[in-house]
């Protein structure tokens, strides 16, 4: 699940990776978790309910965590419903208190159907897969549990020099009805702190905070992604002594992101973004991308001289973010939404489903130093008053949860967006040479003119999407649209226009790899895929791969001058 041990004291309860899957109309069969149901040949386009079941041996207080179930989960233990969860991309958990020691049955009903109940997973230009698509974790916990640790690194000027600090917040929850006396210690990078013994009331949650200062640490940069560990250890009082009962380790990096005028600063240095939009989608694995395939994607991004990735259009798997941390890939992570119309944003479930998605995304991913910006509501109704109200609420929620990172959203409302004053960074998805044939530099100039006169003046600008389609293997000297030759030509002109524009903080190409889309988009999506990848769904290079590699390499070299 993570690239490092999160616990040494807390006990992990092993789960058989093969569960029993029952799809209506089919006999039960052994099925891997995590995986997409669509990976089974009999269910490659299945949309609806399915039922997973497995057994486990445990007792006492048990924490049951799902890192992703697509897209709705109904969870039962020994036939008793623990609750449900909506949204394929958010981590959620249930607490089983005073479980009788022994064998227990875990049942998860999943549902990836589209209905009024689903405001975010709608028929779209990506695929809403079905199943338990990210890892499930079972842990034995005691009376008091460490929920999470959040680390906020920041610089303080001290007599002309800059000194690193880290504000560490630890959330604890009592699972007991009675009060419990506990003691907490913290290790953050080389800093250590022992809190005084304290009492937590039964069934309550408390957040402890400690500010560490450091004489000498190595900053985290994409070029030198130095990571540090933070560990909380909790002891509970038993009779006259304290016994170690829980722990939690996470990672962080000493980096500070600021927006100054039209620049995004990383530890005070202006960044130039050369990257890709990447869906979690890999040939027959769907959104349950195996770890080694995640690693291969990042290796390809590095090979392409890309320095950033946008998690279009939803929070990503924690393991992928760990890899970005380790390999110095800057991340624009965004909450789940793509192209929702005004009417879809007025779905009665939209606000709450969006609020929960943002809450889960920031609570789980707060410490990843690679994440430098939070995005929301890709190409939604930011040209309407109602839509503006939604953008306002979501940006306010993000700032409440994390004031250390800038915010943005990717707009497609070329000349009627009324929300550009809301985010810290303005971003636009533009497709000259694909959806229209306006020369790229001219179109970019027109876009900047609108931005500068409608709320976005003197803010950083990111071209969050630009690209063209190519069917893998379709080669022709006609250079017709959908040929690899045309994509190479289009991306070349597009990137030259954006990378040479000094008022742009950078670009995310749409997109890294071809992805499956819902059947509804068939008319403009040959192979039922979004074919704008520079590699296909199996990561086989198209002609454009090499031209992008060269242009990003030159851009990176120019940035160093």
Q: Per rule CB under 6 A, is residue 518 in the interface with ligand ADA?
A: no
Task: Please tell me whether the peptide bond between 187 and the residue prior to it is cis, using omega within 30 degrees of 0.
Answer: no
Residue number with CB closer to ligand ADA (394 or 530): 530
CA atoms of 340 and 349, how far apart (whole Å): 13
- By beta-carbon proximity to ligand ADA, the closer residue of 360 and 465 is 465
**Cβ(240)–Cβ(223) below 8 Å:** no
Residue the block writes with tokens 């400690």: 210
Q: Which is nearer to ligand ADA, 119 or 380 (CB)?
A: 380
Parallel/antiparallel/unpaired status of strands 330-334 and 308-310: parallel
Whether the Cβ atoms of residue 301 and residue 334 lie closer than 8 Å to each other? no
Smallest separation, CB 432 to ligand ADA (Å): 13
CB closer to ligand ADA, 128 vs 530: 530
Query: Closest CB to ligand ADA among 66 and 434?
Result: 434
By beta-carbon proximity to ligand ADA, the closer residue of 367 and 407 is 407
Closest approach of ligand ADA to the CB of residue 264, in Å = 21
DSSP track, 343-356: HHHTSTTHHHHHHH
Annotate each residue in 90-129 with x if it binds ligand ADA (CB under 6 A) or - if it does not, as one string.
Answer: -----------------------------------x----
Site string for ligand ADA, 417-456 (x = CB under 6 A): ------------x---------------------------
Residue nearer to ligand ADA on the CB measure, 390 or 468:
468
Instruction: Please say which residue, 245 or 483, places its beta carbon nearer to ligand ADA.
Output: 483
Cβ nearer to ligand ADA, comparing 54 with 311 = 311
408 binding ligand ADA? (CB under 6 A): no
Q: Alpha-carbon dihedral of residues 452, 453, 456, 462, nearest 10 degrees?
A: -40
Rule CB under 6 A: choose which of 465, 484, 488, 514 binds ligand ADA.
465
Spell out the SS3 assignment of 477-500: CCCCCECHHHHHHHHHHHHHHHHC
The distance of closest approach from Cβ of residue 355 to ligand ADA in the complex, given in angstroms and rounded to an integer, is 22
x/- mask, ligand ADA, residues 315-354, rule CB under 6 A, reads: -----------------------xx---------------
Q: State yes or no: residue 311 binds ligand ADA (CB under 6 A).
A: no
Task: Round to the nearest angstrom and report the end-to-end CA distance of the chain.
Answer: 39
How big is the site for ligand ADA, counted in residues (CB under 6 A)?
12
Given a contact cutoff of 8 angstroms between Cβ atoms, the answer to whether 550 and 556 are in contact is: no
**Shortest spacing between CB 281 and ligand ADA, in angstroms:** 12
Partners of 220 in the beta sheet?
Answer: 225
- Phi (first) and psi of residue 511, to 5 degrees: -145, 175
Report if residue 378 touches ligand ADA, rule: CB under 6 A. Answer: yes
Question: How far is residue 239 CA from its own chain's centroid?
Answer: 44
The rounded distance, in Å, linking the Cα atoms of 472 and 470 is 6
Q: How far is the CB of 340 from ligand ADA (least distance, A)?
A: 11
Residue 530 binding ligand ADA, by CB under 6 A: yes
* CA dist., res. 143 & res. 208, Å (int): 17
Nearest to 441 by CA among 508, 503, 498: 498
| Residue from 10, 121, 150, 532 in contact with ligand ADA (CB under 6 A) | 532
Rounded to 10 degrees, the C-alpha dihedral 212/213/214/217 comes to 70
- Least separation in angstroms between residue 511's CB and ligand ADA is 7
Burial label for 429, CB within 10 Å (0-12, 13-18, 19+), is buried
List contacts with ligand ADA (CB under 6 A).
Answer: 125, 312, 338-339, 378-379, 412, 429, 465, 510, 530, 532
């Amino acid at each position: 699940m993570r690239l490092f041990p999160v616990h040494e004291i807390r006990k992990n309860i092993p789960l058989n990776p093969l569960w029993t899957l029952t799809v209506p109309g089919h006999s039960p069969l052994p099925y891997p978790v995590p995986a997409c149901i669509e990976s089974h040949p009999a269910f490659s386009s299945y949309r609806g309910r399915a039922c997973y079941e497995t057994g486990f041996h445990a007792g006492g207080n048990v924490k049951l965590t799902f890192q992703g179930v697509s897209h709705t989960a109904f969870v039962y233990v020994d036939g008793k419903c623990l609750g449900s969860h909506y949204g394929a991309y958010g981590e959620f958990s249930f607490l089983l208190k005073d479980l009788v020691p022994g064998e227990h049955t875990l049942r998860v009903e999943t549902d990836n159907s589209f209905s009024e109940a689903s405001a975010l997973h709608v028929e779209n230009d990506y695929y809403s897969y079905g199943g338990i698509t990210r890892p499930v974790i079972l842990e034995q916990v005691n009376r008091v549990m460490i929920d999470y640790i959040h680390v906020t690194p920041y610089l303080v000027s001290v007599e002309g020099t800059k000194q690193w600090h880290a504000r560490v917040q630890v959330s604890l929850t009592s699972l007991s009805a009675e009060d419990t006396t506990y003691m907490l210690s913290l290790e953050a990078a080389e800093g250590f702190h022992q809190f005084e013994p304290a009492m937590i009331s039964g069934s309550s949650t408390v957040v402890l905070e400690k500010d560490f200062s450091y004489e000498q640490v190595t900053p985290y940069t994409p070029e030198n992604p130095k990571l540090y560990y933070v560990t909380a250890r909790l002891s509970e009082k038993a009779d006259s002594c304290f016994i170690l009962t829980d722990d939690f380790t996470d990672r962080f990096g000493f980096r500070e992101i600021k927006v100054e005028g039209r620049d995004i600063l990383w530890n005070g240095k202006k960044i130039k973004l050369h990257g890709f939009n990447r869906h979690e989608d890999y040939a027959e694995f769907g959104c349950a991308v195996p770890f080694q395939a995640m690693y291969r994607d990042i290796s390809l991004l590095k090979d392409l001289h890309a320095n950033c990735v946008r998690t279009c259009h939803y929070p990503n798997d924690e393991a992928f973010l760990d890899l970005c941390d380790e390999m110095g890939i800057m991340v624009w992570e965004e909450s789940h939404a793509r192209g929702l119309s005004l009417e879809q944003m007025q779905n009665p479930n939209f606000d709450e489903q969006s609020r929960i998605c943002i809450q889960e995304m920031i609570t789980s991913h707060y410490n990843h130093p690679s994440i430098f910006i939070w995005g929301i509501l890709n190409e939604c109704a930011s040209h309407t008053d109602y839509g503006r109200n939604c953008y306002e609420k979501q940006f306010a929620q993000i700032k409440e949860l994390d004031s250390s990172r800038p915010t943005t959203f990717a707009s497609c409302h070329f000349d009627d967006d009324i929300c550009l004053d809301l985010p810290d960074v303005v971003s636009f998805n533009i497709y000259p040479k694909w959806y229209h044939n306006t020369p790229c530099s001219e179109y970019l100039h027109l876009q900047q003119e609108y931005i500068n006169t409608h709320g976005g003046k003197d803010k950083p600008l990111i071209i969050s999407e630009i690209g063209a389609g190519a069917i893998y293997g379709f080669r022709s000297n006609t250079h017709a649209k959908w040929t690899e030759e045309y994509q190479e030509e289009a991306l070349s002109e597009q990137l030259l226009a954006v990378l040479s524009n000094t008022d742009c903080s950078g670009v995310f190409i749409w997109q890294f790899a071809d992805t499956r889309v819902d059947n509804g988009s068939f008319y403009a999506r040959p192979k039922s895929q979004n074919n704008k990848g520079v590699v296909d769904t199996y990561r086989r290079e198209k002609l454009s791969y090499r031209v992008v590699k060269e242009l990003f390499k030159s851009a990176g070299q120019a940035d160093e001058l």
